[in-house]
Structure 1
Amino acid sequence: MEKVSVYGAGSWGTALSFVLAQNGHDVLLWTHRAEQADEINEHSNEKYLKGIELPERLKATSDLAETVRHSKVLVLAVPTKAIREVCAKIKENLTEKVLFVHVSKGIEPDSLKRISEMIREEIPEQWVEDVVVLSGPSHAEEVVLEHPTTVTAACENTASAEFVQDLFMNQYFRVYTNTDVIGVEIGGALKNIIALAVGITDGLGYGDNAKAALMTRGLAEIARLGVKMGATPLTFSGLSGVGDLIVTCTSPHSRNWRAGNMLGKGKTIEEVLEEMGMVVEGIRTTKAAFQLAKAYDVPMPITAALYAVLFEEESTNEAAEKLMGRMKKNEMEDLINLL
């Protein structure tokens, strides 16, 4: 049994706490809202996981210092925009080295940092045992129903990845390991952009042909940028690449697909965010990916089209027409260039 602290009591943080508690670990889940902590301690989190009874072994608190004292394994499940703030608070309470496991999927605009880089910037090296990324095709709503789920634990240090693998793995939650941290983080973050785009085309009523095209060409975009940044090409054919892309682009559980779908049906970005009531990581990541494409001189036409819709007030129909009207290309040249 391990003591584990989880930061972020949204759907994914709660679902992973559920898995850890079922695996027999002593889990303390942090939320910044005391009333939510009280609810979780009564074994429910209705806003995020309606109708699910949480394990008695799972405890919650709104006292962040308590979670740092609780464990040397810290799981970060907060939105990308909150990573630095939460890390800064954790740093104030550290007295020994800890292992960070991050499960969020995004890139910071302007700095263009991946989440593992943000953690290492905020936490002095003397307090960091390692940073492991846990990512893959995984809806929280299905995990807590114990539906079969597979994810990847990525770290350059194989021993740390294997420790996290053992921590989470059980009969319904299978964990693979990978040493390609860049690829796993880029795949997990950028698939949200493609899911937003697919949601828009579904909202416009374009059908399965458009969806298949966006997913396929979207994966090429993701891999193009990832490889330029130092990722291994094969990672994008794995769980955190094509696997995560499929689940996020095709499921009504996907916040990014739902947000895109509402945009495609004519709602404004403000209306979408108000109706969602939860973080839509793909919106912020679109800005970061657009900046990364320029920084690395990588063509990313789907990302550019979505950026124009989200930040330049271009209509969804206009963006779709521009994508289809692009100059002709040879598909195999794209694939060969990744190898």
Structure 2
Amino acid sequence: MSLRQVTIIGSGNWGSAIAKIVGSNTAKYPDLFHSQVKMWVFEEEVNGEKLSHIINSTHENVKYLPGIKLPANVLAVPDVVESVTGSDILVWVLPHQFVPRLCGQIKDVVKPDAVSLSCIKGLQDSSEIKLISTLIQEELGTDCSVLMGANIANEVAKEEFSEATIGCNDDVMGPVFQKLFTTDYFKTTAVKDKDTVELCGALKNIVAVAAGFVDGMGLGGNTKAAIIRLGMKEMVQFSKMFSPASQQLTFFESCGVADLITTCYGGRNRKVSEAFVKTGKTLDVLEAEMLGGQKLQGPMTAKEVYHVLKAKGVEGSYPLFRSVYEICYEGMPPKHLLDTLSTI
């Protein structure tokens, strides 16, 4: 069997943490993978020096994951076409709004038998929900699995123990992906319920926004527990509507309840939403001030989901999802979330 070449598309906070794992494991399994891992970097200057050059010379992403050394076999490549040419496995780790443009740039050079794995937590905005993995599959003509879980990037990069769920419906690639991502500190489980795994990763960000509103209003654990419970209920309900074959047990994997809990107590969506209540600043301003170039996913996902629910005429059955959208985009005060909860 020929060795598989791996490319990581994205080099932000989570992308760099994933690069650390993948770089270590390709070296660990020389019978399965090419040692060198290419990582596409959106080129920008840091202190007058190109970020790709900094990464390749210091083996550190000083802007998005400072203080963490990347394996020496991770090569930063600023040209996305060059980064994917000849690769067998494409690992997508970047904000979901950039996926369509990148697919258009690389589709003519992607190998016909290449496979993708998406670590992207978001949805394509349209009148019907489209998963990012489906978008990648349609644009590139290749299969796409997913990896989701309770994974705060900085904690993973520091090798604090965490878990993740791989949604892969392919019997051959499931074990390959587990070897690519599993370490002593990062445990993965593979399940054949890809759509549910991916939906959990996207929908939990809406709930995290609501949790941030709760923190911003100075409320305690009882209220946040109610938000988490209702959020999980709506996640399950939405997943069943989207995919009737959705498996209940998947919600008890890392991609489900564990990711929901950790993102409601940590992570950028909760943090920025808390500041939204306390400061009165817009989400766009707070994203620029607080995230250092990273993108806020929760409000955008709330808008995408609301558009679908509205088109189907079922938005009333999703009071938490609807309230988050109304607070983020229609000027409703954060207290509107509590008013909604009290009427359920």
TM-score by length of structure 1 reads 0.90
Which stretch of the first structure deviates more once superposed, 293-302 or 81-90?
293-302
User: Which residue number corresponds to residue 75 of structure 2?
Assistant: 59
Q: Deviations over 1:225-264 (max 9, x none)?
A: 101111222211221110110111112xx01111111112
Q: 5 Å matches for 1:271-290?
A: 271-276=285-290, 277-290=293-306
Distance of 2:163 and 2:66 partners within structure 1: 23
Distance of 1:32 and 1:272 partners within structure 2: 22
Shift of 1:57: 1.5
Shift of 1:295: 4.4
Q: Can you give the 5+ residue segments of structure 1 that lack an aligned partner in the other structure?
A: 328-339
1:168–1:175 Cα contact (<8 Å) kept? yes
User: Which residue number corresponds to residue 23 of structure 2?
Assistant: 21
| Paired amino acid for 2:36 | D
Q: Deviations over 1:287-316 (max 9, x none)?
A: 111123334536111111111111101111
User: Which residue number corresponds to residue 120 of structure 1?
Assistant: 137
Which one of 110, 128, 153 corresponds to residue 94 of structure 1? 110
Q: Aligned residue pairs: how many?
A: 320
User: Which residue number corresponds to residue 195 of structure 1?
Assistant: 208
- Asked if residue 69 in structure 1 is aligned to residue 79 in structure 2, the reply is no
Distance of 2:133 and 2:69 partners within structure 1: 32
Shift of 1:2: 4.1
Distance of 2:282 and 2:112 partners within structure 1: 47
2:86–2:111 Cα contact (<8 Å) kept? no
User: Which residue number corresponds to residue 251 of structure 2?
Assistant: 236
Q: After the TM superposition, which parts of structure 1 deviate over 3 Å for at least 4 consecutive aligned residues?
A: none
Q: 5 Å matches for 1:32-47?
A: 32-33=42-43, 35-42=50-57, 43-47=59-63
Shift of 1:120: 1.7
| Paired amino acid for 1:171 | D
- Asked if residue 312 in structure 1 is aligned to residue 326 in structure 2, the reply is no
TM-score by length of structure 2 reads 0.89
1:225–1:293 Cα contact (<8 Å) kept? no
1:227–1:233 Cα contact (<8 Å) kept? no
Q: 5 Å matches for 1:79-158?
A: 79-111=95-127, 112-123=129-140, 125=141, 128=142, 130-158=143-171
Shift of 1:196: 0.8
Which stretch of the first structure deviates more once superposed, 265-274 or 82-91?
265-274
Shift of 1:202: 0.3
Q: Work out the percentage of aligned pairs sharing the same amino acid.
A: 32
SS across alignment from 1:214: helix
Which stretch of the first structure deviates more once superposed, 240-249 or 30-39?
30-39
Shift of 1:156: 1.7
Q: Deviations over 1:52-93 (max 9, x none)?
A: 122211110102222122421111112110111111112022
Q: Deviations over 1:157-196 (max 9, x none)?
A: 2322221111111211111001111110110000000001
